[in-house]
Amino acid sequence: MLYSQFFTKTERQAPSDEVSINAKLLIQAGYVDKLMAGVYSLLPLGLRVYKKIEQIIREEMDAIGGQELVMPSLQPKENWEKTGRWTAMDDLYQLKVDDKEYAIGPTHEEVIAPIAKRYISSYKDLPKYAYQFQTKFRNEKRAKSGVMRGREFSMKDLYSFHADQADLDNFYEKAIVAYKNVFKRCGIGNLTYLTYASGGTFSKYSHEFQTLTRAGEDLIYICEQCKVAINKEILDDLKSKCPVCGGNILREEKAVEVGNIFKLGTKYTEPFDLFYTDKDGNKKLVIMGCYGIGLTRLMGAVVEVSSDDKGIIWPEAVAPFKVNLISLNKDAEAEKIYKDLRSAGIEVLYDDRSEVSAGEKFADSDLIGCPWRVVVSGKTLAENAVEVKQRSKEKCEIIKINDLIKTLR
């Protein structure tokens, strides 16, 4: 992509109405636009990051048998009354049109359960796993964490349907592994902890995936020995002991929830009469699990944990481009390198602007945060070389142009 033709530009100043690092950097660099509190557009740069995160999650969900679909946001009040959440969920957006009322979907148990009822009647139809990437709406009272807490935000939600508890338990463990893969591949695996949280009616615990960051809104207590954590909400119930090893050496940290998984049991199958017939001809309620990852939240969390005072430092797997190529008045040579890199399948943002100083180009490159910066200037060209710098490192290297693709791969 040529920077000169890009829809967005970086801005000189971070927005003054944002307090979170993720919103400041993502807006200033042109990844997102804020329409109002908690509501953001994903601009072309931001959508590139979003799609990489989405594809990582898709691959991991497909790997555990998930089948992708998309459910609507406009949902009939009746379904929400059946589960009791029409009145119980205080951040539910309720739309009144003429004499009809609708929920604007904050989650989709009320939609997936009736769909599953169409296709599940026998034990032979189980288990089933369906997931979607979908926009959720929640009336957040405090939407001050940038894209980490939106009123409108994108989520992956998977729903699993099982004949019995053992089958749910088995899949739940697979989902934990898949989730760990997602966070590892997105570059925040080492900072993300499987966290025991309140389980609700049907299960002792639910589990969150919490990523350590000073910007986190949650307090968690880490057992370093087991590499798990406990959400503050259940610390007293657990008498401040690790639920795995029983140890009481716990380290308090601030963290942000990037995923959560629940064993729902029959909470949502019962109101929709979602039964199946078992091998012996008995009618039984289907057992459900649900598994969420907030995509825009994950994107915000990555920025929170991977940035410095100059800008974002994208992990390679989710970077909008791998390389930020900069021409310092050597456009013909830079253009050739641009074409060669692209032919080699490397994603390049080529800063081809002519009216902009070297300093500004370097500053923008740091702000946007592609993993590699390649500078084409007269000085190094004299040696058939370019200057290469990783965003995450201090030092530049001079690399022969012939070795560039090998270096970047």
* Interface contacts to a second copy, rule CB under 8 A: 5-9, 11, 30, 33, 35-36, 39-44, 46-47, 50, 65, 67-76, 93, 95-97, 104, 111, 114-115, 118-119, 128-130, 135, 137, 139, 151-152
In the bound state with a second copy, the residue whose beta carbon lies nearer, of 102 and 262, is 102
The nearest distance, CB 337 to a second copy, in angstroms, is 23
| Residue 167 CB coordination number (10 Å) | 16
Query: Where do the H-state alpha helices sit in 120-216?
Result: 165-185
Do 1 and 349 meet the contact criterion of CB atoms below 8 Å apart?
Answer: yes
Residue of 173, 211, 265 whose CA lies nearest to 22: 211
Element (H, E) at 77: helix 77-82
Distances, alpha carbon 66 to alpha carbons 127, 274, 291, in Å: 11, 20, 11
Does 271 sit behind a cis peptide bond, omega within 30 degrees of 0 on the bond before it?
no
The C-alpha atoms of residue 382 and residue 397 are separated, in whole angstroms, by 15
What secondary structure letter does DSSP report for 147? G
Q: How far is the CB of 13 from a second copy (least distance, A)?
A: 12
Per DSSP bridges, beta strands 128-137 and 67-68 are parallel
130 versus 188: smaller Cβ distance to a second copy: 130
Q: How far is the CB of 54 from a second copy (least distance, A)?
A: 11
Residue 1 structure tokens: 């992509």
Is the CB of 67 or the CB of 329 nearer to a second copy?
A: 67
133 or 262: CB nearest a second copy: 133
- CA gap 282, 105 in Å, rounded: 34
Beta strands 323-327 and 372-376 are: parallel
Q: Is the dihedral of CA 83, 159, 127, 112 positive or negative?
A: positive
* Relative orientation angle of helices 295-305 and 44-63, to the nearest 10 degrees: 110
Q: For residues 77 and 184, which CB has a smaller minimum distance to a second copy in the complex?
A: 77
Instruction: Provide the 8-state DSSP code for 369.
Output: T
Cβ distance to a second copy smaller for residue 89 or 244? 89
Distance in Å, CB of 363 to a second copy, minimum: 18
Q: How far is the CB of 226 from a second copy (least distance, A)?
A: 35
- Can you tell me the distance from the alpha carbon of 221 to that of 158, in angstroms, rounded to the nearest whole number? 27
Comparison of 35 and 396: residue with beta carbon closer to a second copy: 35
Least distance (Å) from a second copy to the CB of residue 342?
14
Min dist. Cβ of residue 52 to a second copy (A): 14
In angstroms, what is the minimal distance from the CB of 162 to a second copy?
14
Residue closest to 258 by CA, chosen among 289, 226, 215, 225: 215
CB of 230 to a second copy, least distance (A): 35
Three-state DSSP state, 131:
strand
By C-beta, is 5 or 402 nearer to a second copy? Answer: 5
Which residue, 36 or 88, is less far from a second copy as judged by CB?
36
Q: Which is nearer to a second copy, 108 or 391 (CB)?
A: 108
**Distance from C-alpha of 108 to C-alpha of 125, rounded to nearest angstrom:** 21
The C-alpha atoms of residue 70 and residue 313 are separated, in whole angstroms, by 32
CB of 70 to a second copy, least distance (A): 5
Compute φ and ψ for 404, nearest 5 degrees. Answer: -65, -50
Classify burial at 57, counting beta carbons within 10 Å of its beta carbon; exposed 0-12, middle 13-18, buried 19 or more: buried
Beta carbon of residue 321, minimum distance to a second copy (angstroms, whole number): 14
Are the C-beta atoms of residues 127 and 167 closer than 8 Å to each other? yes
Which CB, 90 or 236, lies closer to a second copy?
90
